[in-house]
Structure 1
């Protein structure tokens, strides 16, 4: 794992800290308002579950935001976590170089 200056924040923490707490909305009330099981919201807030397209659309409709913003938060988080997990494998990948590909093709 690489050291980071800023800790990686799960989208569920953003949902909790930037939306639910300031607007005084409980997890249960949000779940009921967007017609999902309360457990789904709880698991998202705890960082145990991802924000899916379905949930992103519901959050966007409720908060007056756009679904893509919620999905972007999740995608960024997932990419960072995965990058840390496969860092060694990524370091072994040589960037594309047209000349090296042509040379390999000729020698095979």
Structure 2
């Protein structure tokens, strides 16, 4: 079941993982082993969670990589569904 307008995973990282720790984006990026620019792009919804980033997040925040990828998948699917009618696809059926 597709949820209604799921948040970008970056919002979750920012609000539930980084802010409660009271650390900066720079500190979080350093802990994740990525650049501040990379993490900032994710937190601001300009980039998605890659499988590698999902693993990094799972290590840093003691979560599962699958949960991060699932959140990214749900976000992308919901947005794709919003343009379903504009897709030029016709149904294929057996004769």
TM-score by length of 2: 0.85
Match of 2:11 in 1: 13
Stretches of structure 1 that go unaligned for 5 or more consecutive residues are 1-5, 104-108
Answer whether contact 2:54 2:69 (CA < 8 A) is retained.
yes
Q: Larger radius of gyration, structure 1 or 2? A: 1
Shift of 1:93: 4.4
Kindly tell me the number of residue pairs found equivalent between the two proteins: 93
Matches within 5 A, 1:90-105: 93-94=90-91, 100-101=93-94, 103=95
Secondary structure, counterpart of 1:50 in structure 2:
coil
Q: Which has the higher contact order (CA 8 A, sep 6+)?
A: 2
* Structure (1/2) with the larger helix percentage: 1
Alpha carbons of 1:66 and 1:88: their partners in 2 closer, same or farther (altered >3 Å)? same
The list of structure 1 runs, each at least 4 consecutive aligned residues, that deviate by more than 2 angstroms after superposition, is: 85-90
* Structure 2 residue 32 is the aligned partner of structure 1 residue 34: yes
